[in-house]
Every structure is written in structure tokens, then in C-alpha cells.
Amino acid sequence: MFDFCGLNLDSRIFLAPLAGFSDAGFRAVCAAYGAGLTYTEMVSAAGLIYGNRGTSALLYTEPVCSPRAVQLFGRDPDIMSRAAGDELLRGFDIVDINMGCPVKKVFGNGDGSALMARPDLIEEIVRAVREGAERPVTVKLRAGIALGHPSVVECARAAVRAGAGAVTVHPRYREQMYAGQADHTLTAKVKSEVDVPVVANGDITDAMSYFSVRGLTHADAYMLGRGALGRPWIFGVLGKLDALSDEEIYAADGGVKREAAMYAEELTEKAKADFDAFDAVKRHVDVLMKILPCRTVANVMKLHLCHYAKNTPHAKAVRLAAARVNDVEDVFALAEEHLKKG
């Protein structure tokens, strides 16, 4: 068991908030495969309090996702505070605040990564959200806005001053969007500067990248976004590797010991061989069917199907067939034909 913001977690490997992907179904699948904490995609605080119809489906959550975090975005402390206290959020244990979204529309409004230029406002927002949420509040930061000009340490300090219970660092600049490499020396810097848990995020996709980010940052938890798409089994693998001590993983020169690398390889091969993508799709769709109309479920699943099929011999066939999926029946038929084991 691991304590995070006063919650007991089974694993320090988390699923990142992913707009369009970390839907209730995918969160449930990842939790079932061992994600210690799952995040909703970012939800507009203003949309929530002004009753935007699309919001409630984003906020549905399955019992398997426990504990669970909801992510809000916005820049107005009062609106953020009211949204954090909204009834629709009552099932969530943590309220996370998006300070990283680089998308033009969001950034241009002063939301998401635009906050990385405004530590004073960060402080105000975190304070307000804490009051409204009455539960732990965390923030998810980028490196900064302009390439080579980090503001993450200053912003993390501001958030912690206002009572943030943890800080996630995705150390890319807004200017980089999702390109280039995450610079985890910045995550390490934040880790040495704040006394709350730091979650490292960015470019963790497999055992070796996990070992590398852990060795560099000594973070308190590790969060996967793109690396989890279609590969929920990765949470089980990294969860097991996370139980190894530093002495078991790292050689004196900082490299990864041969035994640790071999163990990682073994775990990965077994997890891949055991993974039944059809079962994952079924679980995923069953959850979505509780909250969305059939056609919407089919649409949501199109990209997920391609991810589940990635790196299998059926990847191309699934990509072509997924484009023609119109209904849930089509999703199951495709998954049965191409993704079922044995």
C-alpha cells in the first residue's frame, strides 16, 4: 500500500488524463489491469457549473476505479471553486487541476498551460479549489511555455503554498505540444524543491523508460498517457517492477542491472501473451453502454480499437474496419474477428 494525498493506493503507476481516450470504460480497463489511480479527461469548470450536457458522461465512474481523480480546467478561481464542489464530482477522491493543456483554444483563453506563466493565479486557483472541493487537490504542470524557459519549479512551489497535495510534472514546454522529449531533469528539480508527492509523467512507455525516469527523478509515482493506449497490461508490468528496490534495478554506474532487465523482459512478454484484447474491448464497451448511446460508443471505440490492435498482425485490417464501424454490434464483430485470443 502506498499513501498518496491520504489515500491508500495499491500501485504508484497511474493512468493520465487523456481527452478523448480516458473515458470511463478505458479507466475501468486500466484499473482492472493495475493502474493505481485513474484520471478523467479534463472537464471544463465553466461547462460543469453552467450545465453543459456532455459533462455528466465524462464524470461517470465504475467501482473498480478506486481511488479516482477528476481533472478540471479553467482559470477563474470562483468558477473553479464552485465546479470543484459540484455534486457530479462527489464520487471522486481527488480534484486535479489542468495546467498543461497546450491546445490553442484552451491556451488562448488563459486556461491550461497558459497558467504556467501565472504562479500568483495558480496559488489563488488552488486555494479556491481546495475550499470548494473539501478533498485533496493536485495540479498537473508542464515545463513552462516557451522552449528553454522553465517555470515549473516556481509554479509547483506556488501550488504547494496554496495547499496542493501533490504535483504531476509533464516536462515538455507548451511550445512543444507533444513533440520532442520530456526533460525529466526538471521533474527531478521539482522533486528536490517541494515536500509533497511528485508524479513523473511523459514518455514512460515500457520497462526501460520507467527505469530511466525513476532513476533520474526518484518520483513518488509515475503516470502513463499514450503508452497505455491499447496496452492496459503495462500497468501490471510496471507495478511489479515498481516493487523492486533501487539496489535491485540500478548498477553502480547508474545503468540497469542485467537481472532487472531480464525480469522486465520476461514480465512484459508474459503480459503481452496473456492479454486478450477482446476481453478488454468487451469490458470497455460494457461500461460505455451505461452512459452513452450505441452510435456514440461505436465512435469512441474507433480509435481505441486501432490502439488495441497496434503491433499485432491485424493492425491494418482493424484500422480499415474501424473506420466503417457504426454500431456497437460492429465493434464486437470486429473485436471477435481480429482481437480475440486463441
Shortest distance in whole angstroms from residue 341 CB to ligand FMN: 27
One of 100, 230, 232, 236 touching ligand FMN (CB under 6 A): 100
Q: Does 103 bind ligand FMN (CB under 6 A)?
A: no
Question: Quick check: helix, strand or coil at residue 224?
Answer: strand
Q: Which is nearer to ligand FMN, 205 or 296 (CB)?
A: 205
Q: Does 48 bind ligand FMN (CB under 6 A)?
A: no
In order, the DSSP letters of 120-152 are: HHHHHHHHHHHHHH-S-EEEEEEEESSTT-B-H
- Residue closer to ligand FMN by CB (options 20, 148) is 20
Give the separation between CA 112 and CA 72, rounded to whole angstroms.
Answer: 9
Give the Cβ contact number of residue 195 at 10 Å.
Answer: 7
Q: How far is CA 54 from CA 47, 50, 58, 284, 291, in A?
A: 9, 11, 7, 19, 11
Residue keyed to cell 486555494: 127
Please indicate whether residue 294 is annotated as part of the active site: no
CB of 258 to ligand FMN, least distance (A): 27
State yes or no: residue 325 binds ligand FMN (CB under 6 A).
no
CA distance 312 to 204: 21
Catalytic residue among 101, 155, 294, 306: 101
Q: How far is the C-alpha of 140 from the C-alpha of 71, rounded, in Å?
A: 9
Distance CA 223, CA 182 (A): 13
**To the nearest whole angstrom, how small is the minimum distance from the Cβ of residue 18 to ligand FMN?**
4
- The site map against ligand FMN for 202-221 (x = CB under 6 A) is xxx-----------------
Identify which range of 15-23, 47-55, 155-163, 282-290 contacts ligand FMN by CB under 6 A: 15-23
Interface positions with ligand FMN (CB under 6 A): 16-21, 41-42, 71, 98, 100-101, 140, 170, 178, 201-204, 224-227
Active site residues: 101
